[in-house]
């Protein structure tokens, strides 16, 4: 049996606009093991959602295009699948919880009809059984009066309820991999906790999860490993404990320092200076250099590769290489 359920190698995605062609994802490689929760974290505009959509080949084309790379799922390259095979593959093997419910729910059909159709298509069950499973899952995601809501249209539900319907649709198929893109954005804290509990229950069934978020607190609570993404590139990769106890990339350090704390002694919350650059105007060399307090000449001239720090811990920063060289010279 293959150890990794999902393996992405050198993924590059571009978009073409009136301003020209730009890279939304650059040379991204990572894997998700079986029964593992991997967090993909970074500020908005870093390429997280584009990476997720690429896995299911949902990049709008045009203007988007997967230029090169491989996306292996159970050893099969999804980029070489026919359109028909890929369509049948979505939902059954890989489900996605979209950031915006409107991206997944048809405004023309009732909630119950949409849920039942998905189950009948992928699980080949009767309409009555599909109705029963759909209602049960609406109850699991804490939608009140679930039977009545089955007859509702999406616009008759609040944004939070639409989000919960979409979560139910993704989880009820028992997929091998769930891609969750900011899955609890529109939910209150209590419902967030309940949804994350459901996701953890799926993990116990050996379902793998790629969890996309900008919330480091969620990463700590949920994830086994973490990928930190900045401006289309992977900045750091490590297990959760190493990311929080020994962050190597200045961007990761900045994200952790900006986490709100209960006891601040009146001090201002630390932030990362500047903002994520536009994909049409990435700086040369290291994309983080203009915001990095430690940047030096080499950062402007060369793109840093991912340097090994420890087992399964890598960071794309020349400071890491310098520290490693100093450690070796001192041995």
Q: Residue 230 falls within a domain, yes or no?
A: yes
Query: How much is the average pLDDT of 38-50?
Result: 95
Query: How much is the average pLDDT of 15-37?
Result: 94
Q: 129-145 pLDDT, tens per residue?
A: 999 999 999 999 989 99
Q: Residue 86 falls within a domain, yes or no?
A: yes
Task: State the pLDDT confidence band at 324, using cuts at 50, 70 and 90.
Answer: low
On the question of pLDDT at 231 being above 90, the answer is yes
Q: Residue 235 falls within a domain, yes or no?
A: yes
Q: 164-219 pLDDT, tens per residue?
A: 999 999 999 999 999 999 988 778 888 888 889 989 998 998 999 999 998 899 99
pLDDT at 77: 95
3-state SS, residue 284: coil
Q: Residue 213 falls within a domain, yes or no?
A: yes
pLDDT at 263: 56
**149, HSE (Cβ side, Cα atoms, 13 Å):** 22
Give the other-Cβ count within 10 Å of 179's Cβ. 26
pLDDT, greater one: 47 or 326: 47
* Cα Dmax for the chain: 71
**8 Å CB contact between 36 and 79:** no
How far is 238 from 228, CA to CA, in rounded Å? 9
Q: What is the DSSP letter of 280?
A: G
pLDDT, greater one: 101 or 287: 287
Helix orientation angle between 127-140 and 111-123, rounded to the nearest 10 degrees: 120
Least confident range of 47-56, 102-111, 309-318: 102-111
On the question of pLDDT at 330 being above 70, the answer is no
How far is 226 from 206, CA to CA, in rounded Å? 18
Number of domains in the chain: 1
Percentage of the chain beyond pLDDT 70 is 95
Nearest 10 degrees: Cα torsion 283, 285, 288, 291 = -70
User: In which order are the strands placed within the sheet that holds 4-17?
Assistant: 20-33, 4-17, 64-73, 76-77
Q: Residue 206 falls within a domain, yes or no?
A: yes
pLDDT, greater one: 87 or 7: 7
How far is 24 from 42, CA to CA, in rounded Å? 14
Distances (CA, A) of 24 to 55, 94, 200, 276: 14, 22, 30, 12
| Whether this model's pTM surpasses 0.85 | yes
pLDDT, greater one: 284 or 263: 284
pLDDT at 260: 76
Task: State the pLDDT confidence band at 298, using cuts at 50, 70 and 90.
Answer: very high
Question: Can you name the residues that pair with 226 across neighbouring β-strands?
Answer: 39, 238
Q: 115-128 pLDDT, tens per residue?
A: 999 999 888 899 99
Give the DSSP per-residue string, 217-255: HHHHHH-SEEEEEETTEEEEEEEHHHHHHS--SHHHHHH
Domain with residue 189: its CATH number is: 3.40.50.300
Mean pLDDT estimate for the chain: 90
On the question of pLDDT at 157 being above 70, the answer is yes
Given its phi and psi angles, is residue 10 left (phi above 0), alpha (psi -120 to 50 degrees) or beta?
Answer: left
Helix orientation angle between 159-171 and 189-204, rounded to the nearest 10 degrees: 0
Q: Residue 27 falls within a domain, yes or no?
A: yes
How far is 268 from 24, CA to CA, in rounded Å? 33
On the question of pLDDT at 1 being above 80, the answer is no
Task: State the pLDDT confidence band at 331, using cuts at 50, 70 and 90.
Answer: very low
pLDDT at 325: 52
Q: Residue 242 falls within a domain, yes or no?
A: yes
Q: Residue 251 falls within a domain, yes or no?
A: yes
On the question of pLDDT at 328 being above 60, the answer is no
Instruction: Provide the domain limits for residue 13.
Output: 4-93+175-255
């Amino acid at each position: 049996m293959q150890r990794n359920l999902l393996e992405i190698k050198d993924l590059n995605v571009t978009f073409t606009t009136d301003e020209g062609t730009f890279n939304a994802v650059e040379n991204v490689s990572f894997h998700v093991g079986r029964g593992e929760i991997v967090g993909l974290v970074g500020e908005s505009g870093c390429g997280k959602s584009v990476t997720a959509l690429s896995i299911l080949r949902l990049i709008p084309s045009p203007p988007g295009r997967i230029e090169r790379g491989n996306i292996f799922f159970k050893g099969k390259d999804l980029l070489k699948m026919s359109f028909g095979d890929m369509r049948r593959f979505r939902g059954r093997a890989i489900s996605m919880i979209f950031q915006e419910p409107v991206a997944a729910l048809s405004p023309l059909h009732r909630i119950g009809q949409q849920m039942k159709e998905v189950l009948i298509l992928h699980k080949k069950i009767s309409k009555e059984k599909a109705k029963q499973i759909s209602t049960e899952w609406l109850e699991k995601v804490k939608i009140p009066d679930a039977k009545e809501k089955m007859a509702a249209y999406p616009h008759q539900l609040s944004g939070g309820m639409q989000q919960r319907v979409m979560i139910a649709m993704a989880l009820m198929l028992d997929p091998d991999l769930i891609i969750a893109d900011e899955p609890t954005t529109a939910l209150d804290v209590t419902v967030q906790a309940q949804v994350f509990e459901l996701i953890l229950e799926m993990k116990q069934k050996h379902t793998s999860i790629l969890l996309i978020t900008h919330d480091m607190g969620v990463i700590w609570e949920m994830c086994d490993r973490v990928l930190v993404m900045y401006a289309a590139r992977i900045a750091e990769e490590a297990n959760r404990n190493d990311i929080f106890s020994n962050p190597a990339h200045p961007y990761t350090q900045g994200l952790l320092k900006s986490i709100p704390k209960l006891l601040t002694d009146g001090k201002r919350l630390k932030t990362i200076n500047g903002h994520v650059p536009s994909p049409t105007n990435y700086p040369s060399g290291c994309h983080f250099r203009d915001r990095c307090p430690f940047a030096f000449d080499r950062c402007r001239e060369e793109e840093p590769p991912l340097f090994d720090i420890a087992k399964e811990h890598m960071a794309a920063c020349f400071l890491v290489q310098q520290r490693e060289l100093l450690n070796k010279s001192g041995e």
